[in-house]
């Protein structure tokens, strides 16, 4: 099936906001991938100082200005996208398989499995994601990007369990599931080859929407000093460092903050478009 | 062939006990076209689901030849009994191609080698009167009658001995209904199948079944050869059902019991 020829894709392409979101996401991805070739000062990413050019406001050489040790903020924002996108992809790569497997098992296998898995999920859901991530990082050693990824993943999987559980409960009553059972298909086959493909539209939509939120939570943790550590260019950390200098050196915080806003907005608009395209509720 | 021994089944719906089947005894012989008729809620589908191993009965036992069947069955036992469902809209997975749907039983039961799958699926499609081109299509591009044909091909793929047909034509229009019924009769002869035909359409029963059981509220009202039951029904309920068959000609009306 060619998705570009479907009615659903036509619906997506006719929604200007979704197309705008898609353009933003594609541009951000390209900027992150080709950062070493696009950015004017790639050496400013590491432990670099240039006190002669410190705290310079935006001008033609430094379009976003420089920070208090003379590093180009534009370069660091573009590299910051790399960290944010890696965080989003890694977190969802851990959270989605755990959540999906738990949801399929809880929804399909039987009452005892459902009871155990859904109560565990409810416990995790009862604690707000940011608070849970903060607690997990607190339990781990000193903060770094890997711990942030683990902590956010642990806070994120229950939402996927809840989504897939609800979908599985409704799909398992369909005739083709009974037909597979009667035929002798294994539980594994029914869950992953019969039920899961029918959950994909909702799953893809949620993943797209969540990429933005995960980046936001990751940036919030960095803002609190619990994410990537200097000199790694992380957008949340850059906002935090610049916040104490407001309003005098406004460009320290404004441009990294704007960069976060753009990427989150892009993913949200694409997610909303996918929601309409697949006609799903997540 | 299939022996149903004193089977009972209860359901609890909103804390109310519903006796779906009450001490059902039946024997279905090889090559029978065995019709199960009755109004909605009479227990027809529950009985089919117990035979298929979807539900476990509360009491009684079920035998296939000399082998007792339970809800948990091995692959060989699963292969013996297949079914075609009532609703063509939900019988096929919308995310699977027709090839993937029909080849599933072949893969599960390892009926043919991997490189022979395509050929076998083509063959099964031709049995049900469909072109090989349908293999790459998805269910949402098929009509109701075509979906039922695919469901029949899928059931045949497992090489079963018994086919349970749960109102397979009730969701189809009259012309397609007759085509599907003719196809089912052809297949029965060709593959020496035993049919358990669940329906509330007595005119279909009269035309295709050799034995009929009439059910009401989970019990058997009447059981016997179709001709005898239609000509000389013993229970009042069966008489009412037969009299309710819509007729066009006086000749048809005269066949009804007085």
Count of domains observed in chain B: 1
Is the backbone of residue A184 left (phi > 0), alpha (psi -120 to 50) or beta? Answer: left
Query: Taking CB atoms and an 8 Å limit, are A1 and B138 in contact across chains?
Result: yes
The answer to whether the CB atoms of B92 and A1 lie below 8 A apart is: no
Which residues, other chains included, contact B131 with Cβ-Cβ below 8 Å and sequence gap of 6+? Answer: B125
Which residues of chain A lie closer than 8 angstroms to B81, CB-CB? 182
Indicate whether A52 belongs to any domain.
no
Contact with chain A for residue B199, Cβ under 8 A: no
CB contact (8 A) between residue A183 and residue B94: no
- Angle between helical axes of B117-127 and B98-108 (0-180°, round to 10): 110
pLDDT band per the 50, 70, 90 thresholds, residue A101 = very high
Predicted local distance difference test score (pLDDT) of residue A72: 92
Which tens digit of pLDDT belongs to each residue from A55-90?
A: 888 988 889 989 888 899 999 999 999 988 998 999
* E strand or H helix that includes residue B64: strand B59-64
CATH number at residue A166: 1.10.3720.10
| pLDDT value at residue B251 | 67
**Domain containing residue A83:** 15-40+66-278
Burial class (CB in 10 A: 0-12, 13-18, 19+), A22: buried
User: How many CB atoms are closer than 10 A to CB B48?
Assistant: 22
Q: Is residue A217 part of a domain?
A: yes
A218: in domain:
yes
Whole-number Cα distances in Å, B86 to A35, A70, A96, B70: 58, 73, 36, 24
For residue A256, being part of any structural domain is answered with yes
Residue B104 touches partner A, C-beta closer than 8 Å: yes
What angle do helix axes A111-125 and A73-108 make, rounded to 10 degrees?
Answer: 150
What gap in Å lies between CA B1 and CA A30, rounded to an integer? 67
Residues of B in contact with A197 (CB under 8 A): 93, 95-96
Q: Which domain holds residue B226?
A: 2-254
Q: Report how far residue A275's alpha carbon sits from residue A271's, in angstroms, rounded to the nearest whole number.
A: 6
Task: Report pLDDT for A131.
Answer: 84
Comparing CA positions, the residue from B75, B154, B74 lying closest to residue B110 is: B75
Phi-psi region of A172 (alpha: psi -120 to 50; beta: other; left: phi over 0): alpha
**How far is residue A258's CA from residue A263's CA, in Å, rounded to a whole number?**
9
The pLDDT of residue A166 is 96
Q: Which helix (H) or strand (E) holds B195?
A: strand B194-199
Mean pLDDT of A24-40: 93
Chains A and B: how many Cβ contacts under 8 Å?
A: 54
pLDDT digits (tens, 9 = 90+) for A221-270: 888 888 777 788 888 888 888 888 778 889 999 999 999 999 999 999 99
**Separation between Cα atoms, residue A29 and residue A78, nearest integer Å:** 10
* Interface residue A198 vs chain B (CB under 8 A): yes
- A119-144: pLDDT as tens digits: 999 999 998 878 888 888 888 777 77
At A166-210, the pLDDT tens digits run: 999 999 999 999 999 999 999 999 999 999 999 998 999 999 999
Which of B104, B138, B160, B162 should we substitute to test contact with A (largest number of A Cβ atoms within 10 Å)?
A: B104
The model carries a pTM of 0.85
Residue B65: CATH number of its domain: 3.40.50.300
Mean pLDDT, 10 residues at a time, chain B of 258 residues: 93 88 93 91 92 93 91 90 89 94 95 94 93 93 92 94 90 82 90 92 86 93 91 87 75 64
Which of A95, A108, A98 is CA-nearest to residue A165? A108
- The DSSP call for residue B88 is T
B73 touching A (Cβ < 8 Å): yes
Q: How far apart are CA A85 and CA B13, in angstroms?
A: 50
pLDDT at A33 over 90: yes
Nearest to B78 among A1, A183, A197 (CB): A183
ipTM score over 0.90, yes or no: no
Query: What is the tally of structural domains in chain A?
Result: 1
Residue A176 CA: distances (Å) to CA of B87, B93, B128, B158, B232 = 10, 6, 19, 15, 40
């Amino acid at each position: 099936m060619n998705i570009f020829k479907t009615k659903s894709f036509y619906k997506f392409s006719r929604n200007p906001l979704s197309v705008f979101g898609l353009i933003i996401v594609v541009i951000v991805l390209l900027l992150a991938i080709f950062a070493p070739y696009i950015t004017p000062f790639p050496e400013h990413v590491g432990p670099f100082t240039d006190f002669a050019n410190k705290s310079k406001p935006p001008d033609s050489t430094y379009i976003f200005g420089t920070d208090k040790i003379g590093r180009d903020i534009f370069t660091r924002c573009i590299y910051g996208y790399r960290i944010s996108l890696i965080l989003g992809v890694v977190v969802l790569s851990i959270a989605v398989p755990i959540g999906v497997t738990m949801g399929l098992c809880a929804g399909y296998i039987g009452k005892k499995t459902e009871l155990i898995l859904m109560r565990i999920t409810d416990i995790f859901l009862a604690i707000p994601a940011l608070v849970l991530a903060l607690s997990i990082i607190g339990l781990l050693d000193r903060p770094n990007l890997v711990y942030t990824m683990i902590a956010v993943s642990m806070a994120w999987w229950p939402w996927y369990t809840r989504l897939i559980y609800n979908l599985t409960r409704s799909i398992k009553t369909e005739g083709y599931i009974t037909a597979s059972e009667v035929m002798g298909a294994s539980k594994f086959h029914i869950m992953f080859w019969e039920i899961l493909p029918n959950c994909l539209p909702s799953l893809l939509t949620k993943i797209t929407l969540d990429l933005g939120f995960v980046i936001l939570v990751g940036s919030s943790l960095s803002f609190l000093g619990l994410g990537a550590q200097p000199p790694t260019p992380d957008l949340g950390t850059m906002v935090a460092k610049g916040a104490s200098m407001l309003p005098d050196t406004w460009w320290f915080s404004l441009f990294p903050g704007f960069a976060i806003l753009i990427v989150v907005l892009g993913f949200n608009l694409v997610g909303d478009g996918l929601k309409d395209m697949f006609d799903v509720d997540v | 062939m299939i022996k149903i021994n004193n089977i009972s089944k209860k359901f609890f719906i909103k804390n109310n006990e519903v006796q779906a089947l009450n001490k059902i005894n039946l024997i279905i012989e090889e090559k029978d076209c065995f019709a199960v008729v009755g109004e909605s809620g009479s227990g027809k589908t529950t009985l089919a689901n117990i035979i298929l191993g979807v539900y476990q009965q509360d009491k009684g036992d079920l035998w296939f030849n000399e082998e007792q069947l339970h809800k948990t069955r091995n692959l060989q036992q699963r292969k013996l009994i297949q079914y075609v469902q009532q609703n063509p809209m939900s019988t096929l997975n919308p995310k699977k191609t027709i090839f993937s749907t029909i080849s599933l039983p072949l893969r599960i039961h390892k009926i043919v080698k991997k490189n022979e799958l395509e050929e076998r699926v083509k063959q099964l499609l031709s049995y049900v009167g469909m072109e090989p081109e349908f293999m790459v299509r998805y269910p949402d591009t098929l009509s109701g009658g075509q979906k039922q044909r695919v469901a029949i091909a899928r059931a045949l793929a497992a090489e079963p001995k018994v086919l349970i047909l749960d109102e397979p034509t009730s969701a189809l229009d009259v012309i397609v209904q007759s085509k599907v019924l003719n196809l089912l009769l052809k297949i029965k002869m060709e593959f020496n199948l035993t049919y358990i035909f669940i329906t509330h359409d007595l005119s279909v029963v009269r035309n295709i079944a050799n034995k009929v059981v009439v059910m009401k509220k989970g019990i058997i009202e009447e059981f016997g050869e179709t001709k005898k039951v239609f000509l000389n029904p013993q229970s009042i309920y069966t008489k009412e059902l037969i009299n309710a068959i819509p007729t066009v000609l006086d000749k048809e009306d005269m066949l009804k019991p007085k």
